[in-house]
Amino acid sequence: MPELPEVETVVRGLRKTVLDKTIAKVIVDAPVKSIVVSESFKSKSFEAILKNKTIKQINRRGKNILIELSGDLTLWVHLKMTGHFYYKDVSTEKEKHDLITFQFKKPDSNFKLIFNDYRRFGRNRLYYSNEVMEQKGLKELGPEPLEISSDDFVTIVQSKNRMIKPALLDQSLIAGIGNIYADEALYASRIHPKRLFSSLSKKKLVELHEHIQRILSMAIDNMGSSVDTYTGVNGETGKFQNYLKAYGNEGGACERCNKIIVREKIGSRSAHYCPKCQKI
């Protein structure tokens, strides 16, 4: 699933391509569950509401994309497993999993924006801007890991009697970290994924905060990790998968101690770690 660096890369790609463009037409081939329209629109269709709206701002919150449009609207997109935005020449043939097509008014009518989603867990939700942040999935999000100070991070997590790996994936604690970057940050900090937050010293938590910020920033600079189907809006793959040290490296050697990296199910997800460097 795209995590903070991948979603940030998509947001930056969207800003470069569709910002300030006005939607001429929306074509929907998505299954019903892929699109949610607020009840405030009184059963007006997604296509009808978006027609003639201009894209004003594109932001990220955790793993969510927030596209602000004229008319005080926000299109809230979650890519989930395999959701993609692609910016393409309007003459490009439709592909099998192209679920939503946005066409633009002149002088931008030569391109289209596609929402493509093979697994179809992604969501495009349309709300008035003043109601969107009150929705479940956004309202409970914890702070942004690249914005939270070291002191605030320590204060938030120190009291938590929770296993660190599943807790890092909890979007209401910190928003945007998923399996890849949790494993990488714990590896860099030499923390076993089963440790409890409350069992770690303040020094260790400060170190974890530093590694989270360093790794996420590096991943953004490298346009994310393409470990599955993830690509940017021009179809380009990320490069950070080449720098992953723990995630996906089970059976490989730890670059610090040469011990074999293991993969173990912790909570509902697989954790990758070095059993020698990351002692419980």
**Positions that interact with Zn ion (CB under 5 A):** 254, 256-257, 259, 274, 276-277
Closest CA relative to residue 222, chosen from 196, 193, 242 = 242
Cis peptide before 107 (omega within 30 of 0): yes
Residue 162 annotated to the active site: no
Q: How far is the CB of 261 from Zn ion (least distance, A)?
A: 8
210 included as an active-site residue: no
Please tell me the distance from the alpha carbon of residue 227 to that of residue 40, in angstroms, as a whole number. 39
Residue 258 C-beta: closest distance to Zn ion, Å: 7
Residue sitting closest to Zn ion (CB): 254
Which has the closest alpha carbon to 11: 90, 71, 68?
A: 68
Q: Which residue among 3, 6, 8, 207 is the active-site one?
A: 3
Q: CA–CA separation, 275 vs 251, rounded Å?
A: 12
166: annotated active-site residue: no
User: Closer to Zn ion at the Cβ: 65 or 271?
Assistant: 271
Residue 44: count of CB within 10 angstroms of its CB: 12
Which residue, 19 or 257, has its beta carbon nearer to Zn ion? Answer: 257
The CA distance from 183 to 145, in Å, is 15
Task: Provide the minimum distance between the beta carbon of 274 and Zn ion in the complex, in angstroms, as a whole number.
Answer: 3
Question: Measured from the CB atom, is 82 or 249 closer to Zn ion?
Answer: 249
Nearer to Zn ion, 214 or 259 (CB): 259
Catalytic residue among 63, 88, 112, 125: 63
Which one of the listed residues 12, 194, 239, 269 is annotated catalytic?
269
**CA 103 – CA 27 distance, rounded (Å):** 8
CB of 276 to Zn ion, least distance (A): 5
User: How far is Cα 4 from Cα 176, in angstroms, rounded to an integer?
Assistant: 5
Say whether 63 is catalytic: yes
Q: Closest Cα to residue 14, out of 91, 53, 67?
A: 67
Catalytic residue set: 2-3, 63, 269
